[in-house]
């Protein structure tokens, strides 16, 4: 069993060792071992040139990272939370995402933007937003969103090796969660291909599609529903893993089998990841196999409240997923 934190740390360590062009920068990543201890031990091992503490200026250090990527280095740029990436969104979108296209492919920007995304616990509106839909909207970026330790390690290694800008949206509440990791997943050659979803649980009645922390909620909901005779498949038990490019083929194949679709995410409903999945299913051949309207389970359409009881009501819970499944199955 390996925690998500240790899986990310392993991935960074292995990639820093493998390729001397890789370096890490951000607030508190070096001497303090990282605000969330993701970069623990790396500064002591690799020194000031490879693991760099920055001032509290997202626009500044993100710009430095993007410039470094343009001249052939491979930076890993950590945001203490993705809410603070708003300070640097000009660098992420205008400088990183668009440059390859605008230079007719002559300038690659091999950079990874990573850090915690979405709601943590008790940190109110300024720290709780999910940016999967924001960054997933923008051509020129790849966007990944891991759930398990295997996802985290494999996607981070794949992202560092990719020649495009990649946004990696982790979840703070998952960092300390242990997951089973196979020997293969712990090898230095292990990568999870970007753009491929993973079926976490097979089923016949309903397709549940999710990413990041809600994948766990979907699996819990599927276990409860299975006792009641409902077999779920999707992040409930299709784990998207990648937001852009989205693996809609895996979702379509499942919907053809189950005839029902429920999407689950922590982000806001309007223009969300679930909205995109529903639209793509609507436009494709799988639409003809749906026996009921697709249902979205999302965060509440409000900035996150600070109070615990209100926060719980704003984030999709297992009971909300079960309710949505029963609604779409009309039971």
Q: Based on the residue annotation, tell me whether 15 is a catalytic residue of this protein.
A: no
> What CA–CA distances, in Å, run from 129 to 76, 134, 191, 289?
22, 10, 28, 34
Q: Based on the residue annotation, tell me whether 127 is a catalytic residue of this protein.
A: yes
Considering 14, 27, 58, 276, which one is annotated as catalytic? 58
Residue with tokens 């759930």: 147
> What CA–CA distances, in Å, run from 200 to 117, 120, 214, 225, 291?
22, 24, 13, 15, 23
Residue 166, CB-side half-sphere exposure with 13 Å CA sphere: 28
Helices (H) and strands (E) counted in the chain, each on its own, are 12, 14
Write the Ramachandran bin of 162: left for phi over 0, alpha for psi from -120 to 50, otherwise beta. Answer: beta
Q: Could you tell me the maximum CA-CA distance found in the chain, to the nearest angstrom?
A: 60
Cα distance between residue 110 and residue 161, in whole Å: 8
Token pair for residue 288? 């003809």
Considering 78, 127, 172, 233, which one is annotated as catalytic? 127
DSSP for 178-231, please give it: EE---TTTTSTT--PPTT--EE-S--SSEEEEE-STHHHHHHHHHHHHHHTT--
Sign of CA dihedral 193, 80, 3, 120: negative
Q: Which sequence positions are flagged as catalytic?
A: 58, 127
């Amino acid at each position: 069993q390996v925690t998500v934190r240790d899986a990310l740390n392993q991935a960074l360590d292995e990639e820093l060792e493998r390729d001397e062009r890789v370096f890490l920068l951000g607030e508190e990543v070096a001497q303090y071992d990282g605000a969330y201890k993701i970069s623990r031990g790396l500064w002591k091992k690799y020194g000031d040139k490879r693991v760099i503490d920055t001032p509290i200026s997202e626009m500044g250090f993100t710009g430095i990272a993007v410039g470094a990527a343009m001249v052939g280095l491979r930076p890993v740029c950590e945001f203490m939370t993705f809410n603070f990436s708003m300070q640097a969104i000009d660098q992420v979108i205008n400088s990183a995402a668009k440059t390859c296209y605008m230079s007719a492919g002559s300038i690659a920007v091999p950079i990874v933007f990573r850090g915690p995304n979405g709601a943590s616990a008790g940190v109110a509106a300024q720290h709780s937003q999910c940016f999967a839909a924001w960054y997933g909207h923008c051509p020129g970026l790849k966007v990944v969103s891991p759930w398990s330790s295997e996802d985290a390690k494999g996607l981070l290694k794949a992202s560092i090796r990719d020649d495009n800008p990649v946004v990696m949206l982790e979840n703070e509440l998952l960092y300390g969660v242990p997951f089973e990791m196979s020997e293969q997943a712990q090898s230095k050659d292990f990568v999870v291909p970007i753009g491929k979803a993973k079926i976490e649980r097979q089923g016949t009645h309903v397709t549940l599609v999710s990413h990041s922390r809600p994948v766990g909620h979907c699996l819990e909901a599927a276990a409860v529903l299975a006792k009641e005779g409902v077999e779920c498949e999707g992040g409930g038990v299709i784990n998207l893993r990648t937001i852009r490019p989205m693996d809609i083929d895996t979702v379509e194949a499942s919907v053809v089998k189950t005839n029902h679709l429920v999407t689950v995410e922590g982000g806001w409903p309007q223009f969300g990841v679930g909205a995109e999945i529903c639209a793509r299913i609507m436009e494709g051949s799988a639409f003809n196999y749906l026996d009921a309207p697709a249902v979205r389970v999302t965060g509440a359409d409000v900035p996150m409240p600070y109070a615990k009881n209100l926060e719980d009501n704003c984030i999709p819970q297992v009971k909300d997923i079960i309710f949505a499944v029963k609604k779409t199955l009309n039971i």
